[in-house]
């Protein structure tokens, strides 16, 4: 008996087909171009890592490690996790290969988190990101944030705000965490159900909580930026001044501790005001000056950001941005009714000349092929029937013109590439 089950993409994931896929391609291409302009090299790492890379990297008390990671055992009984984010893998690769610093890596990757799926929140989402390892110069913080900001502008986004904070380094944060712990312990009963149970594990997580009760308690408590040591405060003010020098506005937000344990000093998030609060973070990042050590490497400063492709597309849609990021329309469609193999050689010649060309198959009628040509979005159709074939000619028709007479001309087969290029220009 045959099993007729049909399958769907798993919950919280999605297929991307044309024409939407052209936006993805354009977005990745634009980001690659920016990364190149800013001196970054593409780095590829495996989609899964030893689970320890993430547990140690993003922190076992983070929501992502605790509740959202896809952890599995392979057939050799090693415990791996699908990448929930890009940074830990890049830093693992840095520690493994010791490239010359500063090392500037960019990436595009799917990321897997077992979230409650909703608009802009998926179990497989896709990130564009950069990481710089080997310097704690505030100029790098400025450069990384500027790259993100300029990239969003290039995508046509206008209503994007940059929130910024400093988490300090181990020393100044340690003292602050003690104060926060005390404040929360005294008001534990007022926290949300989850944080009543878990705040002691990592009190900073409560600052990130979106529930009114936790916001209320933390608003009345100590704030991190007031407890920074002189060095961290100086670093933070240099980053803010550097951004201001480039004309990039930043809004200080003392709650911005972000969801992973690796952050130190600068943290930031870009928020698209056209989107609802559950999915308006279109990008975020920060410094992680201890992460390389946590993953077994030498002390090495680092900073980077990741940006969700789906969220960027949603933000463009919400702002009504319709500009294409890449041209993916066909130049030509070849219609061959000779009953011979003319189309095969013609499309090969045109494609070798750099043109985007498609054709019909299966020896269909002229009418049927014309229909496909119209649907294809191509600018021009090239028609070769028995007559043209015998005369060594091709008919070129402008598919966007209503005037049939003016819309077509016959040219010699030998000069077709030149004629087509002239018409396309």
Chain residues that interact with ligand HAM, rule: CB under 6 A = 85-87, 113, 115, 120-122, 125, 127, 129, 131, 259, 281-286, 304-308, 310-311
Specify the residue for token string 């690659």. 32
User: What is the closest distance, in whole angstroms, from the C-beta atom of residue 260 to ligand HAM in the complex?
Assistant: 7
CB of 269 or CB of 388, closer to ligand HAM: 269
CB of 128 or CB of 382, closer to ligand HAM: 128
User: What is the closest distance, in whole angstroms, from the C-beta atom of residue 11 to ligand HAM in the complex?
Assistant: 13
Distance between CA atoms of residues 376 and 70, nearest Å: 40
Distance between CA atoms of residues 238 and 219, nearest Å: 26
CB of 80 or CB of 260, closer to ligand HAM: 260
Find the radius of gyration of the CA atoms of the chain: 28
User: What is the closest distance, in whole angstroms, from the C-beta atom of residue 106 to ligand HAM in the complex?
Assistant: 11
Residue nearest to ligand HAM (CB): 308
CB of 25 or CB of 115, closer to ligand HAM: 115
CB of 235 or CB of 359, closer to ligand HAM: 235
User: What is the closest distance, in whole angstroms, from the C-beta atom of residue 131 to ligand HAM in the complex?
Assistant: 6
Q: Which residues contact 32 (CB under 8 A, 6 or more apart)?
A: 42, 106, 108
CB of 138 or CB of 283, closer to ligand HAM: 283
- Which residues sit opposite 266 in a β-bridge? 166
Distance between CA atoms of residues 292 and 289, nearest Å: 7
CB of 156 or CB of 259, closer to ligand HAM: 259
Specify the residue for token string 């240099």. 238
CB of 92 or CB of 397, closer to ligand HAM: 92
Angle at 219 between CA 213 and CA 225, to 5 degrees: 140
User: What is the closest distance, in whole angstroms, from the C-beta atom of residue 86 to ligand HAM in the complex?
Assistant: 5
CB of 236 or CB of 333, closer to ligand HAM: 236
User: What is the closest distance, in whole angstroms, from the C-beta atom of residue 310 to ligand HAM in the complex?
Assistant: 5
User: What is the closest distance, in whole angstroms, from the C-beta atom of residue 187 to ligand HAM in the complex?
Assistant: 28
Burial of 339 (0-12, 13-18, 19+ CB in 10 A): exposed
Specify the residue for token string 């380094």. 169
User: What is the closest distance, in whole angstroms, from the C-beta atom of residue 272 to ligand HAM in the complex?
Assistant: 9
User: What is the closest distance, in whole angstroms, from the C-beta atom of residue 281 to ligand HAM in the complex?
Assistant: 4
């Amino acid at each position: 008996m045959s099993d007729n089950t049909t399958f769907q993409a798993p919950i919280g994931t999605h297929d991307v087909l044309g024409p939407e896929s052209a936006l993805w391609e354009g977005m990745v291409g634009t980001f690659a171009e920016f990364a190149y302009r800013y001196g970054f090299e593409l780095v590829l790492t495996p989609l899964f890592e030893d689970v320890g890379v993430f547990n140690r990297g993003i922190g076992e008390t983070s929501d992502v490690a605790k509740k959202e990671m896809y952890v599995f055992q392979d057939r050799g009984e090693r415990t791996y996790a699908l990448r929930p984010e890009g940074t830990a893998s890049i830093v693992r690769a840095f520690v493994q290969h010791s490239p010359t610093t500063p090392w500037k890596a960019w990436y595009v990757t799917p990321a897997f988190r077992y979230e409650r799926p909703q608009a802009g929140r998926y179990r497989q989402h896709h990130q564009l990101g950069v990481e710089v390892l080997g310097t704690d110069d505030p100029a790098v913080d400025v450069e990384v944030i500027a790259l993100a900001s300029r990239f969003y502008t290039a995508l046509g986004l206008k209503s994007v705000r940059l929130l910024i904070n400093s988490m300090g380094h181990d020393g100044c944060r340690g003292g602050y965490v003690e104060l926060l712990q005390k404040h929360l312990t005294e008001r534990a009963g007022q926290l949300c159900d989850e944080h009543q149970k878990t705040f002691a594990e990592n009190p900073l997580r409560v600052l990130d909580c979106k529930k009114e009760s936790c916001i209320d308690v933390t608003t009345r408590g100590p704030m991190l930026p007031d407890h920074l040591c002189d060095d961290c405060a100086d670093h933070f003010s240099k980053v803010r001044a550097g951004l201001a020098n480039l004309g990039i506005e930043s809004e200080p937000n003392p709650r911005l501790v972000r969801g992973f344990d690796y952050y130190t000093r600068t943290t930031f998030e870009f928020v698209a005001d056209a989107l609802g609060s559950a999915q308006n973070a279109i990008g975020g990042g920060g410094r992680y000056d201890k992460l390389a050590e946590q993953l077994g490497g030498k002390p090495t400063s680092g900073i980077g950001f990741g940006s969700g492709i789906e969220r960027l597309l949603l933000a463009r849609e919400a702002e009504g941005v319709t500009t294409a990021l890449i041209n993916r329309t066909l130049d030509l469609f070849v219609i061959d009714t000779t009953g011979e193999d003319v189309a095969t050689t013609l499309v090969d010649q045109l494609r070798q000349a750099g043109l985007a060309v498609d054709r019909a198959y299966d020896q269909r009628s002229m009418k049927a092929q014309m229909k496909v040509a119209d649907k294809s979005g191509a600018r021009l159709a090239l028609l070769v029937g028995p007559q043209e074939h015998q005369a060594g000619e091709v008919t070129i028709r402008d598919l966007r013109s209503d005037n049939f007479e003016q819309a077509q001309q016959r040219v010699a087969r030998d000069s077709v590439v030149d004629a087509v290029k002239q018409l396309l220009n």
